[in-house]
């Protein structure tokens, strides 16, 4: 050490500085190691992928092929991802009969399975509030109710994404990763979202969820019929939300939560079709929407029978 | 301070191609030189910053599940610190207004201390937003042209513009002034005075826009008040001057540079007014929440007294109020400027008080109770504290280096003429 020092004419101070810099660089590399390992696992195609609206049909096919392959390698599941488009002349709406909902939470459970939610957290897009009869103030409600339902002094109010016509979540997104589709559904591009969670703060209905970790689902429990904008397994670190099961409803089927409901409380359909059941409910029942005073214009209605 | 300039300018080479690289190199050299205290301070800060970097790297690879945030309280310590730091950046301009708007000569010598603070604080703001992102590698989605920039609808895009703009303006002003001083030239007012005035308006905008991020959300009644932006500015003009006074006192005791009493007196006078207005606004807010009552005021009840047995934030907010009141009493004493210990105590108390109020005391209760009136509490965990400490350490590194470089150049101790003379 001292030899080289003398030969190259380095001062002691420079050597100490150099040593310090080397140590610093080594410590830096050590500190950032988890990130280096992680970034090696990320796909370059995913990183460079364009926004949903910018993808041409060929590019979309490639993206879907990649995602299907990832589902195979990461989850051991053979899945089919489709990208159904909104149909002309269709605008979806949902109504829920609070007089007959018994609060069994089967809708929430069906959502959990249908939408490939993380098994560890038991996530679902639906939260069911147990409300005391005589009040519509949510402060009087609770979601952690237990015991046999329905309780005689209570009614039950499931809440999920209201698919607002003036959605605050869409307004606040800084990168247009969430938007309103032509049939009224508010969609998220899971491969474009940066995970800032501003939409989660903006939503007045607690409808949005964040993927705090990579979802865990056993291969045999993965729902293989997946939509690009809906129930495909979400990446870590991005937002997700209820899409009225668009992979089903755009193909003429009903949302999973409706099919699971044992009481028939749920009514779903095309609000532009005068013959539809949802139209009948809106025309003949005294319906209301949640937090109407906020001006969000929900497409989700509640009503009582009498 | 201007005396040595005339003598030096004759010897200095005029070509920017030669003198600018020299200026950059000289700054780099100065940044790595100092006494043992400087080295100890910088090594300590670097260690904390690296611990924070490691915690953040873990968070990115394993997901934000390693934090204590949840779908109910989806912003936590990071965004709390971000909000506070925007205030600190805006507060830095409180040095600029007296210096340039009122031509106060006492302030001219130290105005750069405030502008450098703005630079360090903005870098910390940006860092606090980046560590809060679930997918930080997708930041390019926000770049206009190659990404999608949801302007002007999303307030967050406004914030991106004003924060980066403020950073650039202050970098330009500080860089230009330092370079001209280094060259031994009198700065040309045309190249910086317009930017100084721009930065004054811009400082107001960064904190206003940041307040708008929250106050525009109808679903969060705690934030949905028109008082939010004015109160942000008022508290910024407490925390900014408080930090600058602490920095000036540190420079005074740890270096040979002279810091006049005039600048500190002006800053104390500013704080005396702003800290009182801030308390008045607090009273106004508390009155509205508690006299009105009802479910829209549940967050305030949770914050100040706890709700249904949940009271994690109660000690925070009462500490904040107590700290602010004690700081106010100390600051209002006529002799505070003559007693450095009292002044430093007052500034630390005010700074910490505002840090709680604009951070944990503002962001967290916005989420409690949730929009469906569930109560899920939040307390930051060790990893979040490590990341936060890391960002603070990185910010302090930047600020220390900036002052370390700026002071010798501004005092004429380091200049191009002297450097050239030494070479020959």
Listed range (A140-144, A204-208, B41-45, B48-52) with the worst mean pLDDT: A140-144
Decide if B142 and A33 are in contact by the 8 Å CB cutoff: no
Phi first, then psi, for residue A133 (nearest 5°) are -60, 140
How many residues would you count in chain A? 306
Say if residue B296's pLDDT is above 90: no
pLDDT in tens, A34-93: 999 899 888 899 999 999 999 999 999 999 999 999 999 999 999 999 999 999 999 999
Decide if A196 and B62 are in contact by the 8 Å CB cutoff: no
What DSSP string runs through B75-96?
S-HHHHHHHHHHHHHHHGGGGH
B96: which 2 tokens?
A: 């600029």
Return the residue of A nearest to B156 by Cα. A174
Sign of CA dihedral A52, A55, A56, A58: negative
Decide if A35 and B57 are in contact by the 8 Å CB cutoff: yes
A55 contacts in chain B (CB < 8 Å): none
Look up the pTM and report it. Answer: 0.94
- How close, in Å, is residue A178 to chain B by CA atoms? 11
Residue B184 gets which letter from DSSP?
T
Write down the residue that tokens 């994404």 correspond to.
A161
pLDDT in tens, B354-397: 999 999 999 999 999 999 999 999 999 999 999 999 999 999 99
Residue A151 gets which letter from DSSP?
-
Interface ipTM > 0.85 = yes
Return the residue of B nearest to A21 by Cα. B32
Cα(B388)–Cα(B399) distance, integer angstroms: 17
Q: In terms of DSSP H, where are the helices of chain A?
A: 2-8, 12-31, 33-41, 44-48, 57-75, 106-114, 168-172, 198-202, 246-249, 256-260, 277-284
Mutation site, A37, A122, A237, A290, interface B, largest B CB count within 10 A: A237
- How close, in Å, is residue B95 to chain A by CA atoms? 33
Decide if A174 and B156 are in contact by the 8 Å CB cutoff: yes
Decide if B134 and A210 are in contact by the 8 Å CB cutoff: yes
Write down the residue that tokens 């009614």 correspond to.
A155
pLDDT in tens, A118-130: 999 999 999 999 9
Decide if A32 and B57 are in contact by the 8 Å CB cutoff: yes
B383 contacts in chain A (CB < 8 Å): none
Q: Which pLDDT belongs to residue B64?
A: 98
Q: What is the mean pLDDT of chain B?
A: 92
Is any Cβ of chain A less than 8 angstroms from the Cβ of B53? yes
Mutation site, B77, B134, B297, interface A, largest A CB count within 10 A: B134
Decide if B220 and A236 are in contact by the 8 Å CB cutoff: no
Q: How many CB atoms lie within 10 A of CB B47?
A: 15
Q: In terms of DSSP H, where are the helices of B63-152?
A: 77-91, 96, 105-108, 111-132
A298 contacts in chain B (CB < 8 Å): none
Decide if A238 and B61 are in contact by the 8 Å CB cutoff: no
Decide if A159 and B372 are in contact by the 8 Å CB cutoff: yes
pLDDT in tens, A163-177: 999 999 999 999 999
Domains defined for chain B, CATH in brackets:
17-423 (1.20.1630.10)
Cα(A276)–Cα(B376) distance, integer angstroms: 40
Q: Which pLDDT belongs to residue B84?
A: 97
Return the residue of A nearest to B78 by Cα. A196
Decide if B373 and A30 are in contact by the 8 Å CB cutoff: no
CB-closest option in A27, A198, A202 to B50: A27
Decide if A177 and B149 are in contact by the 8 Å CB cutoff: no
- Beta bridge pairs of residue A82: A227
CB contact at 8 A, A242 and A111: yes
């Amino acid at each position: 050490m001292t030899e080289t020092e003398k030969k190259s004419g380095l001062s002691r101070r420079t050597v100490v500085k150099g040593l310090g810099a080397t140590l610093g660089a080594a410590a830096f590399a050590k500190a950032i190691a988890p990130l280096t390992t992680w970034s090696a696992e990320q796909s370059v195609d995913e990183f460079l992928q364009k926004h949903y609206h910018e993808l041409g049909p060929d590019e979309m096919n490639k993206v879907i092929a990649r995602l299907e392959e990832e589902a195979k390698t990461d989850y051991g599941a053979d899945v089919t991802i489709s990208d159904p488009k909104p149909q002309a002349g269709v605008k979806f709406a949902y109504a829920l009969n609070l007089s007959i909902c018994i609060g069994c939470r089967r809708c929430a459970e069906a959502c959990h399975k249908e939408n490939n939610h993380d098994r560890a957290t038991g996530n679902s897009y639906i939260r069911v509030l147990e409300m005391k009869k005589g009040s519509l103030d949510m402060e009087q409600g609770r979601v952690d109710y237990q015991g046999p339902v329905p309780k005689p002094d209570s009614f039950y109010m499931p809440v999920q994404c209201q698919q607002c016509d003036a959605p605050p979540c869409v307004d606040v997104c800084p990168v247009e990763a969430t938007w309103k589709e032509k049939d009224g559904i508010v969609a998220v591009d899971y491969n474009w979202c940066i995970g800032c969670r501003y939409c989660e703060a903006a939503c007045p209905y607690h409808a949005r969820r964040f993927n705090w970790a990579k979802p865990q689902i056993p291969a045999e429990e993965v729902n293989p019929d997946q939509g690009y904008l809906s129930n495909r397994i979400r990446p870590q670190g991005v937002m997700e939300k209820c899409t009225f099961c668009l992979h089903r409803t755009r193909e003429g089927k009903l949302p999973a939560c409706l099919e699971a409901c044992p009481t028939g409380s749920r009514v779903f359909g095309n609000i532009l079709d005068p013959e539809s059941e949802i139209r009948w409910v809106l025309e003949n029942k005294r319906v209301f929407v949640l937090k109407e005073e906020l001006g969000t214009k929900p497409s989700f209605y509640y009503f009582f029978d009498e | 301070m201007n005396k040595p300039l005339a003598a030096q300018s004759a010897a200095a080479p005029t070509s920017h191609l030669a003198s600018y690289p020299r200026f950059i190199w000289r700054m780099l050299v100065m940044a790595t030189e100092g006494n043992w205290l400087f080295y100890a301070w910088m090594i300590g800060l670097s260690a904390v910053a690296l611990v924070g970097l490691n915690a953040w790297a873990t968070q990115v690879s394993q997901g934000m599940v390693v934090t204590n945030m949840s779908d109910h309280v989806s912003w936590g310590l990071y965004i709390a610190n971000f909000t506070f730091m925007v205030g600190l950046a805006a507060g830095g301009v409180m040095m600029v207004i007296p210096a340039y708007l009122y031509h106060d000569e006492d302030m001219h010598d130290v105005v750069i201390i405030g502008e450098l603070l703005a630079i360090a604080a903005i870098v910390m703001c940006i860092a606090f937003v980046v560590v809060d992102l679930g997918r930080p590698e997708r930041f390019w989605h926000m770049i206009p042209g190659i990404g999608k920039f949801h302007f002007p609808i999303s307030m967050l895009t406004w914030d991106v513009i004003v924060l980066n703009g403020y950073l650039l303006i202050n970098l330009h002003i500080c860089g230009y002034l330092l370079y001209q001083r280094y060259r031994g030239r009198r700065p040309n007012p045309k190249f910086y005075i317009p930017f100084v005035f721009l930065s004054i308006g811009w400082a107001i905008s960064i904190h206003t826009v940041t307040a708008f991020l929250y106050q525009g959300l109808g679903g969060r009644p705690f934030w949905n008040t028109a008082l939010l932006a004015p109160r942000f500015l008022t508290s910024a003009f407490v925390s900014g001057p408080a930090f600058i006074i602490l920095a000036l006192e540190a420079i005074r005791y740890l270096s040979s540079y002279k810091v006049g009493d005039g600048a500190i007196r002006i800053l104390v006078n500013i704080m005396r007014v702003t800290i009182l207005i801030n308390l008045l606004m607090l009273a106004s807010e508390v009155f509205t929440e508690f006299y009105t009552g009802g479910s829209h005021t549940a967050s305030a009840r949770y914050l100040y007294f706890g709700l249904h047995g949940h009271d994690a934030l109660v000690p925070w907010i009462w500490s904040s109020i107590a700290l602010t009141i004690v700081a106010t009493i100390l600051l209002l004493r006529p002799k505070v400027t003559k007693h450095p210990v009292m002044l430093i105590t007052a500034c630390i108390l005010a700074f910490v008080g505002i840090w709680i109020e604009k951070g944990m005391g503002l962001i967290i209760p916005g989420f409690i109770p949730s929009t469906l009136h569930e109560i899920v509490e939040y307390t930051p965990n060790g990893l979040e504290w490590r990341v936060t400490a890391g960002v603070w350490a990185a910010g302090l590194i930047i600020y220390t280096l900036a002052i370390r470089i700026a002071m010798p150049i501004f005092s004429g101790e380091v200049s191009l003429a002297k450097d050239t003379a030494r070479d020959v």
